[in-house]
Chain A
Amino acid sequence: MTARNFREYLAENRLPTIWCPGCGNGIVLKAIAGAFADLGLDRRKTAAVSGIGCWGWADDYLAVNAFHGTHGRALAFATGIKLANPELTVVVLMGDGDGATIGGNHLIHAARRNVDLTAVVVNNYNYGMTGGQYSGTTPRGSITSTSPLGHVEDPFDLCALTAAAGAPFVARGSVCGGENLRALIRRGLEHRGFSFVEAASVCPTHFGRRNGLRTAVEAFSWLRDHSLSRKRAAGLSEEELHGKQVLGVFADRQSEDYGTRYRKAAEALRGEGESS
């Protein structure tokens, strides 16, 4: 595979996007197109599977095969897409509401089942499209349109969750570092098996505005100032880490993916496999 220009993977005739000015989604979109370009993926053999929500529209802007499914189920559609055609590179685009709240059960099982997919969850800590309600990743104390008193629940740490569920590759980047995000997504795509990349992002329109960040610039600055690498986080106490985003790679191990394991077992049954 030879590297290409990221623009080849964008449906430029559909641009500009529907996203608000200052939304983090565009940066993640560019990082994905960039990762595709770095790997020189064949557009015919690449599929983007999306869910619902602002980020769920991302597949519309990618010039690859696209499947825009129902809320929370993208990983389940992608499981069928990939298993029925193992030649495809499948990237699954979900938001935190979509992928980790309504789709939480599918997320942990996808991590455990280890189908060869790359899930990119854009985490903006709320439901953007429906008007800024709280999700499974909304930090405690945050104001959203459905937590006017300050959110009383604790959020999921999606990287800890998917790593614990068995995902062989888990990483978190941020829209404040687009190039790093691109590299993490590329590593996810290269990894055989289920890979999970969280993109910590901003929703200035709802989450930012309700939590004292009046502009997109303030939202980005806040995210940058509250992010730190795994290395820097290592020495800090739980209290010091409260409200911070730890960026880096949280799992990177080899584990034979579901399709390979299943096909090997089936070949052995049919007497086609190598004898071990």
Chain B
Amino acid sequence: MTGLQSVFTSGNEAIAEGAIAAGASFFAGYPITPSSEIAETAARRLPETGGMYVQMEDELSGMAAIVGASVSGARAFTATSGPGFSLMQENLGMAVMGEIPCVVVNVQRSGPSTGMATKPAQGDVMQARWGTHGDHGIITLAPSSVQDCYDFTIRAFSLAGRFRTPVILLADAAVAKLKENVRFRSPAPEERAPRPLPDCPPEAYRPFAVDPEEKAITPLPPFGSDYIFRITGSMHDEAGGQGASPANADRVIRHLAGKIEKNRDVIVRVRRFFLDDADLAVISFGCSARSARAAVREARRQGIPAGLLELTTLWPFPDDDVRDVLSRVRGAVVPELNLGQAAGEVRRLNDFGIPVRGICRVDGTLIPPGDILSALREARS
């Protein structure tokens, strides 16, 4: 779909449409509630646009197949939910280490294990950050509306290509199943642009060369071009050969973290509501940020000077924005559908000694705005 059509659709469908608008041509995955409509939409829409859908035997192979497709030059994505995301962690790590761009959508559901398959939750904040083994950077975006589902998917592909990394779209069952009007905008040409080829002669190409400033990322040409190279999930030197020396291993791991950390200004995005003169801050993301917005509006109506910082990038965590807000308010509340995964990060940044209260819910239901409002009232007294 192109142009500026406004469509009434669900978050899951908007994610699949966003991917196709971003130029995605390959989906591999394994069906799981509540993400299945993404696979179903991809299966229906990709062949219409010259792309391909493959249903693999499990999530391990689904993740592996998109990594392979990306190495062949495709914009590739998969979609899953908590238990499937756990199975993908092995090859998500492969994508991190091999520096292979791809997009992984995790429509969170309640857990651990099978949990409650159809109930909303936001319990995978830390799984998105640290689910695979070893140190590394990661990019995670959190949509709170169906429009976000569309727009953030496009942005996820663009960040994945730019930083040669897997990007996680951390949705939740509430947002993914919600239906709203969405504008299916056409992405800008640079958002759809194919990955650039290296500009060096083929024999000089080093797939894992590192810019010391971490500002330029080495291009990844597709298999089949003039560049013959080796991609590996093992510790490697710049050419992709074995590179287990202490100095090289240290360099590679610091690069995997540094290329994300040192580009926070490009990656990190937040939304601010009524924060300019706020006395109390709500800090939230995803479906809980929707309740928070309603709560803040109602608080203002009642004369409570509250504001909302919505984290639309969850990783890297928006440290500067959170610190800035904490430095200017008397208290903060962090509503989320888990036992305090984002709240812990907020507390890590609380150098100002203000009270930070988590509003934590893990019963498979959403946080009503009233609960946030009560917390704001209590924080005031």
Interface residues of A (CB under 8 A from B): 14, 43-45, 47, 49, 59-60, 63-70, 73, 75-85, 87-88, 105-106, 109, 258-259, 262-263, 265-266, 269-270
Contact = CB atoms under 8 A, between A and B. Distances in A.
Given A80-B71, A81-B223, A69 B56 contact: no
B260 interface: no
B91 interface: yes
B370 interface: no
Interface of B: 25-26, 28, 47-48, 50, 52, 54, 56-58, 60-62, 64-74, 76, 90-91, 93-94, 222-226, 228-234, 240-242
Contacts of A83: 26, 52, 54, 65, 69
14 contacts: A45-B224, A47-B224, A60-B230, A68-B230, A73-B94, A80-B26, A80-B69, A81-B69, A81-B71, A81-B72, A84-B25, A84-B76, A106-B57, A269-B47
B361 to A, nearest CB: 36
A60 B65 contact: no
Contacts of A258: 54
A89 B68 CA distance: 14
Contacts of A85: 72-74, 222-224
Given A67-B230, A258-B54, 18 more contacts: A44-B225, A49-B68, A60-B242, A63-B228, A65-B230, A68-B230, A68-B232, A68-B233, A69-B67, A77-B68, A80-B64, A80-B67, A82-B72, A83-B69, A84-B68, A84-B74, A87-B224, A262-B47
B72 A88 contact: yes
3 closest Cβ pairs, A-B complex: A80-B68, A76-B64, A76-B61
B72 A266 contact: no
A77 B67 contact: yes
A77, A82, A270 — which one has the most chain B CB atoms within 10 A of its CB? A77
A267 to B, nearest CB: 9
A100 to B, nearest CB: 15
B117 to A, nearest CB: 23
B241 A60 contact: yes
A80 B65 contact: yes
Contact of A106 (B61, B69, B229): B61
B26, B48, B56, B241 — which one has the most chain A CB atoms within 10 A of its CB? B56
B56 A73 contact: no
B56 A79 contact: yes
Given A77-B67, A80-B68, A85-B224, A65 B61 contact: no
A59 B224 CA distance: 16
Given A70-B94, A85-B73, A105-B58, A14 B68 contact: no
A80 B66 contact: yes
A44 B224 contact: yes
